[in-house]
């Protein structure tokens, strides 16, 4: 995580942005976590030990996203999730429309297909995101539907 914090510091300095204790505390928290985080849960976790506002959390998350240390993903409605991605293998997501659980997966075959499609079109891919929406096995069991 130290490497990622230094990358964030470098990003802030290169863009002539302030390095504040609040920004660094938020970045440290996000870069230490390996799940899908909402701004509100970061705020709720940190506010008792750090003098921060929800607006500071949102602004810092946007900076982390722009610096490509964190992926910002909209799953449904207005639920935005932030995920620390640097140093982690690329993965895609399955999203359950019933319980809102996010399941991560990786497929070398899918990666190859996406790369070939981009190459065929003369497209230089920088990054991508694949989200599959449906109902997870647990929710299907609960509703009595197995298909």
What are 36-58's pLDDT values in tens digits? 888 999 999 999 998 999 999 99
Q: Measured between alpha carbons, how far is residue 14 from residues 8, 9, 68, 85 in Å?
A: 10, 9, 14, 21
pLDDT at 74: 73
Bridge partners (DSSP) of residue 72 are 82
Q: What is the pLDDT of residues 101-129, one digit of tens each?
A: 888 888 999 989 998 999 999 998 887 78
Look at the alpha carbons of 125, 117, 123, 76 in this order and tell me if their dihedral is positive or negative. negative
Range of the domain at 118: 89-147
Q: Are residues 35 and 82 in the same domain?
A: yes
Residue 77 is predicted with a pLDDT of: 62
Q: Percent of the chain at pLDDT above 90?
A: 45
Task: Specify the pLDDT at position 146.
Answer: 63
Shared-domain flag, residues 68 and 114: no
Residues 75 and 30 in one domain: yes
Q: Given pLDDT bands bounded at 50, 70 and 90, which one contains residue 10?
A: very high
* pTM score of the predicted model: 0.73
DSSP 81: E
Residues 116, 93 share a domain: yes
For residue 97, what pLDDT is reported? Answer: 87
State the CATH number of the domain containing residue 15: 1.10.10.10
Taking all residues of the chain, what is their mean pLDDT, rounded to a whole number? 87
Q: How many domains does the chain have?
A: 2
Mean pLDDT of 2-6: 88
User: What is the DSSP secondary structure assignment for residue 69, as one 8-state letter?
Assistant: S
Question: What pLDDT score does 147 carry?
Answer: 63
Indicate which CATH number applies to the domain containing 116. 3.30.1490.190
My answer on whether 83 and 135 are in the same domain is: no
């Amino acid at each position: 995580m130290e490497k990622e914090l230094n990358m964030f510091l470098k990003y802030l300095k290169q863009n002539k942005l302030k390095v504040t204790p609040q920004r660094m505390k938020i970045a440290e928290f996000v870069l230490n976590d390996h799940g899908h985080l909402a701004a509100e849960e970061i705020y709720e976790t940190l506010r008792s030990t750090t003098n921060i506002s929800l607006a500071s959390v949102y602004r810092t998350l946007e900076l982390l996203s722009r610096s490509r240390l964190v992926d910002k993903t909209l799953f449904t409605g207005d639920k935005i999730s932030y995920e620390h991605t640097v140093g982690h293998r690329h993965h895609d997501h399955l999203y359950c429309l019933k319980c809102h659980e996010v399941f991560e997966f990786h497929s070398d075959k899918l990666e190859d297909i996406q790369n070939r499609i981009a190459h065929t079109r003369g497209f230089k891919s920088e990054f991508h995101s694949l989200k599959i929406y449906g109902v997870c096995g647990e929710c299907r069991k609960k509703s009595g539907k197995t298909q």
